[in-house]
Homo-oligomer: A and B are copies of this chain.
Amino acid sequence: MQIQGIQKILREKGLKVTPQRVAILGALHEMHNHPTAEMIIEHIRETYPNIAMGTVYNILETFVRHGIVNKVNTDEDAMHYDGVTSMHHHLYSPETGQIEDYMDEQLNKMLTDYFQEKNITNFEIEKISLQIKGKFINN
C-alpha cells in the first residue's frame, strides 16, 4: 500500500496524520509476520531512527481502539499486532512462536452461518477467530 492509502485510513478515522503513525501502520501492512511492538520499532528505525517506545505503544493502542489494527494473542508475554482486519484465522506454533495467517472464505462462511443460526442469547458477537495450534512442517 502506498503512503496515500495509509494517510486515507487515518483521516477516515479522524486521526491526525503524523509521520510516526504513517510509519507504524505502513510497517504493519508490509511486515505480515504479526510483529510485536519491539519488532515494529526495529523495522522502522532505518527510516525513523528516533521514535520512542512509549509512542509506539500509544499509537498501537489507538489503532486497536479504532479498529484499524488487531491484537494477536499468543502464549507469549509480548503482544503481537496484525494490520489485516478482515476475517481470518491463525496457524500458531507455541514452540517456535511462528504465526501465519490462515485465510479461508469457505470456513468464514461456515462459521458466520453457524453463529447466525445459533444465536447465543447473552452475548453479542463482534468478531470470530480461530487459533489453530500445532507445528509447521519442514519450514
The interface of chain A, by Cβ under 8 A from chain B, is 64, 71, 73-75, 77, 79, 91, 100, 102, 104, 107, 110-111, 114-115, 118, 120-139
Contacts and interface: CB of A to CB of B under 8 A. Distances in A.
Given A71-B75, A75-B71, A107-B114, A133 B124 contact: no
Contact of A127 (B73, B74, B133): B133
A131 B131 contact: yes
A136 B107 contact: no
A115 B120 CA distance: 24
By Cβ-Cβ distance, the 6 closest A-B pairs, closest first, are: A73-B73, A126-B134, A127-B133, A125-B134, A124-B135, A71-B75
Contacts of A124: 134-135, 137
A125 B64 CA distance: 29
Given A73-B75, A123-B136, A123-B137, 9 more contacts: A64-B75, A73-B73, A77-B79, A91-B120, A110-B110, A122-B139, A123-B132, A126-B134, A130-B131
